[in-house]
């Protein structure tokens, strides 16, 4: 049984000047205890998808134009705003991109963790703070530092506090939106290992949003590749890394240095991601695709299952 099932999700940002088609018919699913990696370039619609799950798309100008988000048997798009506030933080938590701006600069970090516990667990202030100190210890921060303010912590330590807040109520689903972007490589590895350990300990499922395929290989069970607001390839970790099909996914791997092959130059994907307010006709990737033919410019590809559980949105496989 799936913990999260998203079907045909579409999200728009409507302004006086244009309509930004940020997410276009996205299908995703995450099972209990599983980790799904959502990969793509900046502007692909990954964060907007996550905000849609949390019902945090700013309205206006944003609107969820269609689809369904079934979480643990409940369609989140039909949940009242007040009830959704009870779900956020307790059943679904999110680690936001930038730990520098995710914390309140004038509150002690232990109080920021305790607020979440007190809100969702109906705990007394004393019990909430006790749980907060335990969570800080769990993410590798000494309890004595709980009375410090965010500016007294390094970037990696702030990210640990954000993770403590996200996991304080043992959520069923953790959405990690590029949780290591602002961190150096050694701290990045520590944070990822910590997230994995806590996920296993708490039995939490995770949606990991990233553009780093190395992080995906280290962390995820399943992978979905996103481009121009669509899922263009999805499957198990082995499908995506060992049997890559879509030209865009091949381009992502071609942009990575290899320890096994000796090459003079990497092969980046030519061109830029399309403007979501002015997406091209046909396949949105065709202006950059090395395998494109005239039909790609006029016909939008459907999703094809090339092997069990491995789906590709490309005319070559229809």
Residue from 190, 166, 281, 185 nearest 228 by CA: 281
**pTM of the predicted structure, to 2 decimals:** 0.90
Residue with tokens 């602002």: 182
Mean pLDDT of the chain: 90
CATH assignment of 2-33+44-80+211-317, given 1.20.58.340, 3.30.70.260, 3.20.20.140, 3.40.50.300? 3.40.50.300
Q: What pLDDT was estimated at residue 69?
A: 96
What residue has token string 């002690």? 108
Show me where the domains of the chain are located: 2-33+44-80+211-317
pLDDT of 12 reads 95
* pLDDT of the chain, 318 residues: tens digit per residue: 799 999 999 999 998 889 999 999 999 999 999 999 999 988 899 999 999 999 999 988 999 999 999 999 999 999 998 899 889 988 999 988 777 788 999 999 999 999 999 989 888 999 999 999 999 988 889 999 999 999 999 888 898 899 889 888 889 999 999 887 767 777 778 778 888 887 888 889 999 999 888 889 988 999 999 999 999 999 999 999 999 999 999 999 888 776 677 777 777 788 888 999 999 999 999 999 999 999 999 999 999 999 999 999 999 998
Token pair of 69, please? 């988000």
Contact assessment for residue 299 and residue 252, using Cβ atoms and an 8 Å cutoff: no
Work out whether the CA dihedral 182, 187, 188, 192 comes out positive or negative: negative
pLDDT single digits (tens) 147-175: 999 999 988 889 889 988 988 888 999 99
> What is the sign of the dihedral through the CA atoms of 244, 69, 4 and 203?
positive
DSSP-assigned letter for residue 283 = -
């Amino acid at each position: 049984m799936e913990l999260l099932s998203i079907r045909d999700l579409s999200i728009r940002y409507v302004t006086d000047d244009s309509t930004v088609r940020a997410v276009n018919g996205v299908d995703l699913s995450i099972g209990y205890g599983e980790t799904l990696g959502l990969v793509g370039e900046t502007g692909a619609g990954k964060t907007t998808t996550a905000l849609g799950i949390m019902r945090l798309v700013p309205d206006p100008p944003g609107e969820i134009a269609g689809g369904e988000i079934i979480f643990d048997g409940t369609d989140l798009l039909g949940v009242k705003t007040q009830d959704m506030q009870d779900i956020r933080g307790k059943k679904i938590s999110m680690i936001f991109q930038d730990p520098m701006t995710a914390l309140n600069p004038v509150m002690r970090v232990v109080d920021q963790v305790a607020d979440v516990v007190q809100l969702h667990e109906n705990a007394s202030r004393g019990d909430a703070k006790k749980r907060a100190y335990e969570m800080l210890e769990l993410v590798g921060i000494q309890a004595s530092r709980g009375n410090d303010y965010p500016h007294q912590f390094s970037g990696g330590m702030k990210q640990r506090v954000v993770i403590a807040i996200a996991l304080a109520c043992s959520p069923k689903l953790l959405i990690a939106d590029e949780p290591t972007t602002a961190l150096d490589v050694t701290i990045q590895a520590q944070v990822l290992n910590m997230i994995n350990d806590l996920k296993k300990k708490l039995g939490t499922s995770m949606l990991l949003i990233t553009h780093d395929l190395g992080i995906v290989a280290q962390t995820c069970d399943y992978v979905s590749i996103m481009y121009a607001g669509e899922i263009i390839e999805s499957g198990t970790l082995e499908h995506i890394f060992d049997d890559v099909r879509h030209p865009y996914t091949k381009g992502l791997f071609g942009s990575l240095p290899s320890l096994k092959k000796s090459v003079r130059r990497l092969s980046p994907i030519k061109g830029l991601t399309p403007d979501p307010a002015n997406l091209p006709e046909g396949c949105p990737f065709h202006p950059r695709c090395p395998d494109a033919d005239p039909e790609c410019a006029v016909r939008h590809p459907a999703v094809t299952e090339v092997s069990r559980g491995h789906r590709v949105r490309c005319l070559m496989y229809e």
